[in-house]
Every structure is written in structure tokens, then in C-alpha cells.
Amino acid sequence: MSDDPFFIGWSPDLHKIDRRFLLLATFGLMAGGGGVAAFLGRQGQPPGPGIWDQSAIAGHSGLLVQTPWPMLRMIGDDGAPQTAFLATTGKLAVRLAANARGWVKVRGSLISRGENRMIAVDDGHWLGASEGIEPPGLRDWPEEDLGAAHLVGEILDAKCWFGAMRPGYGKTHKACATLCAKGGLPLAFCQTGSCGSGVDAPLFLDADGRRHGRDILPFIADRVMAKGRMVRVGDVVQFRVARPDIHRV
């Protein structure tokens, strides 16, 4: 071999200088690549403490309500009423007959984040009559105006944020959140900085406490400024905002 190093890929000979250089370059690239990967992997907020154990399917007795989204009013372990929204296991709302209401039993797996709950209903016959007796107090929905609110944050689908996705917010999740919203799942609002680690996200409704229309879709998962009122209805906090009061930041 000549002293003039010249690499020929098909040749079995590889100059010693080339070999040494390539080994150093390879180890350098692997160490550098590993470092960059480790740096990128740990970026961002934690996805949050949402939990969804799809194998833990159980029956949940409660009062079925259809507006603003299908939900079940149940009695919690502490004896106080608590709300669990209803969804399918996918990105679609449950389909209910117009007259479905009252004391029922729902089979499904629980998605929870802090005090937020949602039941992903089981396939097949997930809705039936409950064998128990409806406890008193579930039909009382005291409404309390918590005052005006002017918040910057993100409109997101509650199911993913509660724990169906981890993380279930942000730009990369925009398409998923939009599909969930189109599918009729509940919307919520998280404030910038607390979408990842926070456990509080009020439901997002129009100024009259009803669902927004499809004109809300372009704003989903974008950073927006919203001006409206916070209202507590039972154990659920709602952020009521008229569509003209939502602005992309």
C-alpha cells in the first residue's frame, strides 16, 4: 500500500490513518448523537399525571346527563357529588338516545387527572339500568359565578388531556385534538405554563354555557387569549367565552 492514503471502498485494505480517524469520528458521532438525544428527550414539561388503565373496566352508577356533553353524576368516596364525562375509547362522543337520562350504570374504564374524570365506555352494551337507588342531591346543580377571567392558554380536548394521550396538548397534538373536537368530545382550557404539570382545566363553553360550534376548530391547540367568565356548576368549573372574544396570540 502506498504512503499516500487513498480510500477505495471495495478494496479490503483500509489505511491505518483512515482506520484510526474513522474510529475516532465514529465514537465522537455516537457520543455527540447520544448527548443531543438525551438533551432533546428531557425537554418540555412533564405530560402530567393523567391515568387511563384500559384493562380496568368496571361498572359506574350515576345520573346520566346529556348537556353540555354526556356525563355521569356520581357520588364520590367522600360522599360528595362528582362528575365523570363519557366518551368512546376512540375520538368520538358516545351515542345516546334523545331520551336517555336518569339513574343508570355505565361500563367502562376510568380516565382521570386530579379531580377530572372521564369514562371511556366499553364496546357493546355499555349502558344499562343501575340496580341501586339514586342517592339524594345529585340533581342539585348549584351555579356560582366566579367572576371575569382573561386567560392565555390552549383550547384542548378533555379526553386526551385527562390521560388518554401523554402529552395531550401542544402543537404536535393539534390534529388529534381537532379530531376529538369534531367527534363531539368535551373541550377544556389550560393556561400556558400549566398544560403539562397542571391538574386544573375548566370546561370550555360559549357565553351561554353551551358547546361552541365548528368555528372554534381553527383555534384548537393554538395559543389563544380568551376573555369570559368562570362559572362553577356543581363540581365542574366552566370557562364561558363568546367566540369573538377568542384571539390567537
Partner 1 sequence: MSHDYRVVQWTPFKKTFDLWLGSGIIVFLAAHVASAVFAFPPDQHASEVQLALRASGSCAFALLSLILAIGPAARLSPRFLPLLYNRRHMGVVCFLIALLHGGLVVFWYHGFSGMNPLVSVLVSNSEFHSARGFPFETLGVGALLILFVMAATSHDFWNANLGPGLWKAIHMSVYGAYVLIVGHVMLGAAQGDEGFAWALAVGISAALVMGLHLGAGVLEARRGALMRRIVAEGWLRVGAALDIPDTRARVVSPPKGERIAVFRDGDRIHAISNVCRHQGGPLGEGRIVDGSITCPWHGFQYRPEDGCSPPPYSERVATYRTRIQNGIVFVHPEALPLGTGPGPTLIGGASPAPSDCSGEVRDV
Q: How far is CA 42 from CA 37, 56, 113, 130, 188, in A?
A: 9, 30, 22, 46, 26
Closest CA to 137 of 234, 67, 233: 234
Among 73, 178, 203, 240, binds partner 1 (CB under 8 A): 178
CA 4, CA 234: separation in Å to the nearest integer? 83
Is 76 a binder of partner 1 (CB under 8 A)? no
Is 38 a binder of partner 1 (CB under 8 A)? yes
CA 104, CA 154: separation in Å to the nearest integer? 34
Among 41, 124, 147, 213, binds partner 1 (CB under 8 A): 41
Among 29, 80, 129, 152, binds partner 1 (CB under 8 A): 29
State the nearest-atom distance from the C-beta of 232 to partner 1, in Å.
Answer: 27
Q: Which is nearer to partner 1, 4 or 140 (CB)?
A: 4
CA 3, CA 208: separation in Å to the nearest integer? 84
Among 155, 165, 188, 201, binds partner 1 (CB under 8 A): 165
Report the 10 Å Cβ neighbour count for 66. 15
Q: List contacts with partner 1 (CB under 8 A).
A: 4-12, 14, 17-18, 21-22, 25-26, 29-30, 33-49, 51, 89-92, 165-167, 170-176, 178-180, 182-183, 195-196, 218-219, 222-223, 248-249
